Structure 1
Amino acid sequence: MSSAHLSPHDAPALVAGHGSLSILTEDGEVLTLDRPAAVRRLERLSPPLVVHAPATARMLGIAPPGQPSSWFDLLELFAFVHPVRSVAPTPRGLALALELEEAEQGPVGAEVLPRLLVRLLADLRQIAQGPAREIVQALAVRLGQAGWIWAPVVLESVGVDGPLSRDALQPANALRIWYELPKWEETAQRPPPGSMPVTPAEARSRLSEMLGSQAEIRVGQADFADVATNAFAPREVIGMPRVVLAEAGTGTGKTLGYVAPASVWAEHNGGAVWISTYTRHLQRQIEAETARLHPDPAVRRQHVVVRKGRENYLCLLNMEEAVNIAPSRGEGAVIALSMLARWGRATAEGDLSGGDLPGWFGEIFGRGVLAAVADRRGECIHGACPHYQRCFVEHSIRRARDADLVIANHALVMAQAAWAQSEGVSASEQGDAPDATSSEARVPEEDGVPTRYVFDEGHHVADAADGAFALEFSGLEAAELRRWLLGAEGSRSRARGLKRRLDDLVATNPRLETPLEAALLAAKALPAPGWSARLKPDQGSEPPDEPPAEALDLMPALLPMPELAPEPVMDNPAETFLALLRDQVLARAGNDPRRRNGAECDLHPLLPGLDEAAAGLVRALGRIAEPLRTLLRRLEERLDEDAETLDATTRGRIEAMVRSLRRRALTPLDGWVSMLSTVCVPEDEGITPQFIRFIRMESREGQRRGEMDVGLHQHWLDPTVPFAATLAAPAHGLLITSATLRDETGLPLPGETERVWEAAEARVGASHLPVPALRAALASPFDYASQTRVFLVNDVAHDNIDALAAAFRALFLASGGGGLGLFTAIERLRGVQRRIAGPLEQAGLPLYAQHVDAMDNTTLVDVFRTETDSCLLGTDAMRDGVDVPGHALRLVAFERVPWPRPDILHRERRRYLSDGEPRVYDDRIARLKLRQAFGRLIRARDDRGVFVLLDRRTPSRLLGAFPSGVIPYRMGLADTVREIKTFFGTGAEQ
């Protein structure tokens, strides 16, 4: 049936659960059907009215109805009407966002969906009377041309009943947002910040202003602000920053506690304080908290900027290319891009990941559209881009230059430090530093060089540094560099190579053409298209691995076309080396096929021939790097020699190419050469190594099913060493804070307090700095002894998935929902989810799961927070990134002790960094993870919660992870369930 003949007003409304369905028929009758009956009835119905069509289809066990949906999905309509408004993608979440009274009274059934439709269409009619009228009309027409199922009712609501007038915005142009977005203007460079200190009185005064007279008084928050001022004191000696380590218990209010002195310092000194956190989710929370500092959104936008890596943002050039080819790729591509254009005109940041784009957008409209339009690593052409002055990334960079607070993440901050290490100018080169440790590394990021940092979630500093300063020569990494240099080979992709990017900059100029041609010829030594299949001549002998979930969701219409069948490649040094790496890891990693994905082995002793292959690869990489270095130098010379004749556009293109060549090509090439040159040199058994090198084989995102990547990896033994040298030492002040900096064992041993602090300093790199850090610990204001209970269940077999699933089901039912289940393995998480989703749903407790539901983590947490009786299963990201105050999170259940992963990295660090006490080293890691998980429970004074550990093997020495006064009880599952019911029955509503 054509969408022109369908009306959502006449459609049956559906709300599905696991195994059942609530339906409001066309006659107004509400029915509850089991899954088979619901599926049969659905086959006879016209397209239904639903919320989140893919999730509804999954719950019914049927194929999803396309992307975008052939059903009337209210989320699609919501995305058009309110493109930047946050909403949990459930019926109740939508009802809350639209302020329906029913949302406050419990679950939302099918009978409410028509009311949601009426409210959305009323909102749309109101929007069509305002400034956005022309935009929504043009986009509605374009969506109608593409066959969007909602188009007829939308066109009617926005007042379009025929062709648009000639002077109106035309449908095709409505997608071309790059013509309409505001331009940024260059401003004078900001002078260096001053060094005026922040007094405790100033910090307390600012904190009081932000909190207001009606705010809850938090014990320790003002004390925390006092302590934090020390990180903003003037630096007295180069290479000796003011460092504060502040552990602030949950509920202290540390965010506003550090925002207060940071904002005062920024105002006094005309500089920016960079606030870094581990997760994008917490970035969003911190930015929301700054509304207390600047309630006016326009003022806040001027003073507070969120910064992320480029790959998180919409690229207007990629958007233009996607729009131009969309008509040839089908109606789905046009609809997805039209919805993205609606968002792109309304967004303030252009942030595709964790910003104001709904986290469920990719699941509804296809993840491929987001992959196609996102900025991609190394592809930005900066000033050569025709949309450069409207670019979302460039906007944020320039805003950050003049901001007071820049809210970044550890990954970006560490990446800047890593670039500084590879590209930077040390102070010794400038004549003012005695050694590398105290060097003033130049951060080559356009934002400028921060002097003051706040590291929230400071317990993750080492993890972030480990990722930023590691090296990896793998098939995917090397093939990606070849693709960047040579462009698409043997495929119909639109990927541009280096020659096309340079275009007329090198044409007819032999000094530039010659090194470019030499580098491109040498680049053929990198893995050629089809490399993965050639590394696996025995394809089919191994069981195929589960492909990444993201790979299954990509929308082919907007992705590069599949590669053509690869031709044999002769004498490829990279492939020769990779094949030997694969042989070595298969020979030494064991025979268990279940461990093939993620299999690893030591580099030494080398497989015969691997040393010669490494030496040949080093020579091949050098033949790529040297002409690129010559090309880069000559481009820089042209900037100098032709300064008087170069126009602004050409100068911008050359500067952009110089930056890209250095970061995208020379930095990895130099790192690979340095690492590969040491392959033949085994570590001296008597000397503590600086690096850990090993071989790893795994399935990676972007590979076809059953294919594996293989690579040589190099990690710092202690990743806080480069962090301290390249980021901490050059800074003037750092505040490193977390609720879990210290590993408190609870044992009254002599010198235990000092040992605990020394271990904390070592974990964040403070021990590598020449001056000691100021230490502070502020206790949580919560009464954990009365607000919580902790149970260690001692009769659930850890190796029996059925018993584990039964335990989770019983616990979630006992708490009446609001349960967060944490897992140390994805396989066990999925096994439990399959077994308990149906029974919980029948009891009225929806179950959501990371690595099962296609929603991103932020959306899953939003749903969990909204659906107060729902349950959520997750892994590490949920343990650290969930902030759900109130009744929505009242139970945390951990399936087993979170011991560190027993891989080569942990083995070597345990060996050399444990001070001869490997068990103590392992215990510390496990205790800190338990503390972090327990910390999810109580986020406010009136919260009550239960923590359950389903591991009868839990040693008593780990119980120091729980707050003083909390007594862990060891008992069976039945007794635990009874105690949970009693605890919540007397102190909380069921």
Structure 2
Amino acid sequence: MPPRLLLPDAPALVTPAPGRAALLTPDGELSMLRPQQVAAALRELGPPIVVHAPATAKRLNLPGLPGAWDLLELFAFCLPAQPAPPTPRGLALALDMPPPADAESAAALLPEIATELLRRLARARNAPLNKDAAILAARMRDAASWPWADSVLAALGQPTARGSNDGLKVWRALPEWEEPSPPPPPGSHPVTPADARTRLAEILGEGAEQRPSQADFASAASMAFTPREVPGEPRLVLAEAGTGTGKTLGYVAPASLWAERNGAPVWIATYTRNLQRQLDQELARLYPDPEERRRHVVIRKGRENYLCLLNYDEAASGAMPARLPALALVARWALATRDGDLLGGDFPGWLVELFPPGAISLLADRRGECIHSACPHWKRCYVEHSIRRAAHARLVVANHALVMVQAALGGGDDGPALRYVFDEGHHLFDAADGAFSAALSGAEMAELRRWLLGNEGGRSRARGLRRRLEEMLADHPVLVPPLELTERAARALPSAGWWDRWAALPEAEADLAEDEGATPTDPRPILPANTINPDIAENFLRAVRAQILARTEDGDPLYDAECDLQPLHEDLPAAAIVLEDALERLRAPLKNLSKLLNDLLEDPDEELETGDRIRLETATRSIDRRAVMPLTAWISMLARLREPPAEPGQRPTYVDWLALTRRDGRDIDAGLHRHWLDPTVPFASQVAGPAHGVLIASATLRDAARHDPEAAWREAEARTGVQHLPAPAIRAALPSPFDYAANTRAFVVEDITRDSPGQIAAAMQQLFLASGGGALGLFTAIRRLRDVHARIAPALAEAGIPLYAQHVDAMDSATLVDIFRAEEDSCLLGTDALRDGVDVPGQALRLLVFDRVPWPRPSILHRERRIHLSGGRPGAYDDAIARHRLRQAFGRLIRRADDRGVFVLLDPRTPTRLLGGLPEGVVPQRLGLAEAVRQTAAFLSGD
């Protein structure tokens, strides 16, 4: 049948702010209502057309909007894998429609958005993407009463289509990867500064704005793409490029040229998924054609970021009606996605928020359950596709964490890279700190038990090691004995529900050593050879918790707690020895199992099929990485407890401490933690050292307040690990082209009490109203953020200024930033995640307000670092961290030459020495709140 337009006879509802709504009735009557009035109107008119039903309900303090016609669901069905901020204005911009000017016009626009989406679907009804769209929509109609089903079927010209689960079986339409031939050895052709400048000009095209500093940066970056002369001495470039220099394309120019000339990929690493997405968008300048970009550019992330087809298959096979719409929209996206990335790629983050918890997030492999070649969908797996594409790509865009974790694992799936670019290089210290650390905690041990033993009767699909090896066990019975020993020993690890048992401390814990068979003169208990005490790990956790509670003050139960490792609580040594013994009993059969698997691979008499060989290699690698490596680290950490404590002031290689994790006032985990004192040591030896060339770039590598340039560079080299490499780095510094003196103002408000939530809230409210929106409020604590949001939301709503907030709104940070960017007069409250790496050019961000100085969080790890890494100046160490954070936050304010912005610190205690980190030309003023509000309004209005 020919397609036709079928729109719902429903009201349209828009909530510009909490407690306010614009409602358009089907008869065309438009009114502004309060929540009680909305609820009454909807009882009479029926479910409304909305954008983001959960957020709409939350803003109106309604329990929900059952049956609502959510335009986001229709958008995701009609235009899968296409980005759009989840607001009326955002959808309008994505559809090239005139954006609404206010809430009333937004409500009137919703039926028009629905019309445009259905028309686009009708025009594309014969496209391959829509081959099974009708049976999918019919299935959603029949099983889940999806509101948009009849409208979609009418647009497809198939109103009587019969639904089936075939539309959910997207793997049948996905391409299979084929193993490519090994890439040839890379060449060693250099990229000269002139080459880099020429390539940059080609990328920018004729008529592009000339930025001499960008070309200078490209020249400096090219030095990382010259042949190295000595093994272990990569060509190092440390480059600071001020905001607006154009450093992304500045390093893409020599990187892409080197990859083309030498037939090997350059890995470009960023700190966050948001930055990966921004970089991918920038690369459209280099490869405008999407297919060419897909061939030459690969985004690489950890497996937990991608849609797992096996998880999806199992969810779709037994989907309950409530989860069917979510799975159906994932199916639509899976057919259109570029690379299957559920987090930060082309998957709309707001889609997760529209459905019950876990309906979409559990479709990723978040718990390391991948069975690799044993999976029936392995040949279509998005991750396996990306791994193989990366080997033959020119540019691989990863994140710092993946690069470092792969190095820690001996090269990872992709193998070592020859050339690296680390963008946002000021984060290398923190990224290395996370990658090269270990935690012996209840959660980590329970996760290992689950990986080894499976779900043990629970609802998880965790298979356990036996099921991963089951196809090999019948043919190779030699594997059975070490597997059985492994399964027996794994029962010493915490089992399900351990967090509910451990809080009740046994009265007899003092007799722990005696219970385990120790004698008064022998502190090391000896367990019978075939006995596994299921309480071993839990006894250790109880002892850890007991020490933390004994050594810390009675603080806020909502916050985590920690204490020094030494001196040890009386219960801890015996419990640690028993656990060390148990972990060694677990590691030994696992190492034996790994060896036997490897022996099968190397046995010339074994005629292994390709699939069996792949399974053996995968199993060996998984056992080593998922079990043997963490067990080795844990055993080492426990052995440290038997050593005498270090002398005070002695510089350690590692920092060990005990920590207690809390949630909602409950203790939910405890453990022993180990971090490198200086995590750039393993970064230098395992990542940078083996490479041939490394470029580390950032807008804030050096401490701008240091008057000694050489000292500033030395500090930058220390924070990035360059000092641990034998060859010196080439240094380059390019200033920002922006006129900060003319285009910015910086104020420190002196007449408020920073510890008063009411005064902080009042100050933010007045400043946000003065700017007319476009404000980002940054907090150093989630609790203060929530308190301020509750206080100022009603007043901003009355002024017609939408207010969004992390940890308050039912959206992730990426979605909130997309909304903030699209809604130019909205305001956003956030924490650290919004301080760095957020790109919001133009009027959408014109005011940035910090609630207080972002000092480093006091912790045992930070205490040791400020003692041993500060060069005898611990106060200066803290100052440098705070200055870097302020400078990074200030960098969010001005993204283009014509941007104007105001930076405000609501902390009268702000030391003047910290303000020296702001860009050159910025002269901070200390003012009262009233004057700061007046000057903010005047400056932003152009007066």
Which interval holds the TM-score relative to the shorter structure? Answer: over 0.9
Residue 511 (structure 2) aligns with? none
Aligned pair 1:824/2:823, yes or no? Answer: no
Tell me, yes or no, if the aligned pair for 2:659 and 2:672 is still in contact at 8 Å: yes
Q: Write the letter of the residue equivalent to 1:809.
A: Q
Count residues with an aligned counterpart.
911
Q: CA–CA distance in 1 between the matches of 2:62 and 2:871?
A: 56
1:39 aligns with 2:35: no
Match of 1:877 in 2: 833
What SS does the aligned partner of 1:109 have? helix
- Give the equivalent residue in structure 2 for 1:565: none
In structure 2, the residue matched to 1:487 is 454
Residue 100 of structure 1 aligns to a residue whose secondary structure is coil
Structure 2 equivalent of residue 652 of structure 1 = 614
* CA distance in 2 between partners of 1:612 and 1:756 (Å): 48
Confirm or deny that 1:528 pairs with 2:503: no
Q: Distance in 2 between matches of 1:705 and 1:983?
A: 45
Match of 1:604 in 2: 566
Is the CA contact (8 Å cut-off) linking 1:240 and 1:771 kept in structure 2?
Answer: yes
**1:768 and 2:715 correspond:** no
Aligned with residue 940 of structure 1, among 890, 896, 911: 896
Kept in 1, the 8 Å contact 2:846–2:893? The answer is yes
The answer to whether structure 1 residue 387 and structure 2 residue 347 are counterparts is no
Whole-Å Cα distance in 2 between the matches of residues 611 and 907 of structure 1?
Answer: 25
Deviation at 1:789, TM superposition (A): 0.4
CA offsets, 1:627-667, max 9 Å, x none?
11111111111112266521122111111111111111111
The alignment partner of 1:730 has SS state of coil
Q: Distance in 2 between matches of 1:135 and 1:117?
A: 21
**Alignment check: 8 A CA contact 1:790 1:966 kept:** yes
Equivalent position amino acid for 2:279 in 1: I
Residue aligning to 1:555: none
SS, match of residue 842 in structure 2: coil
Amino acid at match of 1:946: V
Deviations 1:415-443 (A, max 9, x none): 112112xxxxxxxxxxxxxxxxxxxxxx1
1:703-752 deviations in Å (ceiling 9; x for gaps): x98351111100000010111111111111110010010011164xxxx1
- Alpha-carbon distance in 2 for matches of 1:472, 1:905: 13
Instruction: List per-residue Cα deviations over 1:839-868 (Å, max 9, x = no partner).
Output: 112111101111111211111111000000
Counterpart in 2 of 1:266?
Answer: 259
1:914 maps onto 2:870 in alignment:
yes
Q: Which residue of 2 aligns with 1:145?
A: 142
TM-score (norm 2): 0.95
- Aligned equivalents of 2:640 and 2:454: distance in 1? 31
Structure 1 contact 333–369 (Cα < 8 Å) conserved: yes
Equivalent residue, structure 2, for 1:86: 83
Identity of aligned residues (%): 56
Counterpart pick for 1:572 among 535, 541, 552: 535
What is the deviation of 1:106?
Answer: 9.0
Q: How many Å separate the matches in 2 of 1:720 and 1:377? A: 28
CA distance in 2, matches of 1:32, 1:103: 16
Q: Distance in 1 between matches of 2:99 and 2:470?
A: 61
Residue 466 (structure 1) aligned with residue 456 (structure 2): no
Q: Note the C-alpha offset of 1:837.
A: 1.2
CA distance in 2, matches of 1:860, 1:97: 16
Tell me, yes or no, if the aligned pair for 1:470 and 1:715 is still in contact at 8 Å. Answer: yes
Do the aligned partners of residues 73 and 791 (structure 1) sit closer, same or farther apart at CA in structure 2, a change above 3 Å counting? Answer: same
Indicate whether 1:961 and 2:917 are aligned.
yes
Alignment pair present for 1:699 and 2:662? yes
1:348 Cα offset (Å): 1.4
> Does 2:8 match 1:9?
yes
Task: Pick from 212, 222, 238 the counterpart of residue 229 of structure 1.
Answer: 222
- Say if 2:350 is the partner of 1:360: yes
Structure 1 position 121 matched with structure 2 position 118: yes
SS in 1 for 2:675: strand
- Cα deviation for residue 691 of structure 1 reads 0.6
Partner of 2:285: 292
Call closer, same or farther: CA 1:886–1:596 in 2, change over 3 Å. closer
Q: Given the two structures, how large is their TM-score scaled by the length of structure 1? A: 0.90
* Equivalent position SS for 2:128: coil
CA deviation string 1:312-365 (max 9, x = no partner): 001111111111121xxx211222111111111111110000111101011012
Q: In structure 2, what residue type is equivalent to 1:296?
A: D
Q: Give the residue type in structure 1 aligned to 2:446.
A: A
> Is the counterpart of residue 888 in structure 1 residue 855 in structure 2?
no
Q: What letter corresponds to residue 11 of structure 2 in structure 1?
A: P
Task: Compute the displacement of 1:526 (Å).
Answer: 0.5
Q: Give the drift of 1:968.
A: 0.5
Q: Matches of 2:534 and 2:595 in 1, distance apart?
A: 31
Does the 8 Å contact 2:129/2:336 carry over to 1? no
- The alpha carbon displacement at 1:687 in A equals 2.6
Report if the CA contact (8 A) 1:14-1:23 is conserved.
yes
Alpha carbons 2:562, 2:658 under 8 Å: kept:
yes
* Aligned residue number for residue 195 of structure 2: 202
Structure 2 gap ranges (5+): 507-531
For residue 609 of structure 1, what is the amino acid of its counterpart? Answer: D
Q: Which residue of 2 is the match for residue 451 of structure 1?
A: 418
Matching of residues 680-829 of structure 1 within 5 Å: 680-681=642-643, 682-685=645-648, 687-699=650-662, 706-745=666-705, 747=707, 752-829=708-785
Equivalent in the alignment of 1:519: 486
Equivalent pair of 2:494/2:534 in contact (CA under 8 Å):
no
* Structure 2 counterpart of 1:478, from 417, 437, 445: 445
Stretch of structure 1 that moved more, 54-63 or 501-510: 501-510
Pair 71,642 (structure 1): closer, same or farther in 2 beyond 3 Å: farther
Tell me the distance in 2 between the aligned counterparts of 1:296 and 1:477.
44
SS where residue 291 of structure 1 aligns?
coil
1:823, 1:873 within 8 Å by CA — same for their partners in 2? yes
Tell me which residue corresponds to 1:544.
none
Query: Where does residue 593 of structure 2 map in the other structure?
Result: 631
Structure 1 residues 984, 509: CA separation in 2 closer, same or farther (over 3 Å shift)? closer
The letter of the residue matching 1:385 is: C
Could you tell me which residue of structure 1 aligns to residue 52 of structure 2? 52
* SS of structure 2 residue aligned to 1:514: helix
More displaced stretch, 138-147 vs 971-980: 138-147
Q: Residue 508 of structure 1: CA displacement? A: 6.2
Shift of 1:40: 2.7
Q: How does 1:976-987 map to 2 (within 5 A)?
A: 976-986=932-942
Amino acid at match of 2:695: L
CA distance in 2, matches of 1:175, 1:825: 43
Alpha-carbon distance in structure 1 between the residues aligned to 2:912 and 2:73? 52
CA contact 1:360–1:855 (8 Å) conserved in 2: yes
Shift of 1:490: 4.1
Q: Deviations over 1:65-114 (max 9, x none)?
A: 3xxx5201111111100111101001111111122224478984211111
Per the alignment, residue 425 of structure 1 pairs with: none
Q: How far off its partner does 1:44 sit?
A: 2.9
- Higher mean displacement: 214-223 or 919-928: 214-223
Q: Does 1:248 align with 2:210?
A: no
Residues 596 and 697 in structure 1, CA contact (< 8 A), matched pair in contact too: no
Question: Contact between 1:790 and 1:947, CA under 8 Å: does it hold in 2?
Answer: yes
CA contact (8 A) 1:597 1:697 kept: no
Confirm or deny: 8 A CA contact 1:92 1:108 kept in the other structure. no
**Residues 614 and 758 (structure 1), Cα distance of their counterparts in 2 relative to 1, 3 Å cut:** same
1:154 CA drift (Å): 1.5
Report SS of the residue matched to 1:797.
coil
Cα distance in 1 for residues equivalent to 2:101 and 2:691:
49
- Consecutive unaligned residues of structure 1, counting only runs of 5 or more, are 1-5, 165-169, 421-442, 540-568
Distance in 2 between the 1:290 and 1:724 partners? 28
1:96 aligns with 2:90: no
Indicate how the Cα distance of structure 1 residues 185 and 53 shifts in structure 2: closer, same or farther if over 3 A, else same.
Answer: same
Q: 1:613 aligns with which of 575, 578, 582?
A: 575
1:214 CA displacement: 2.2
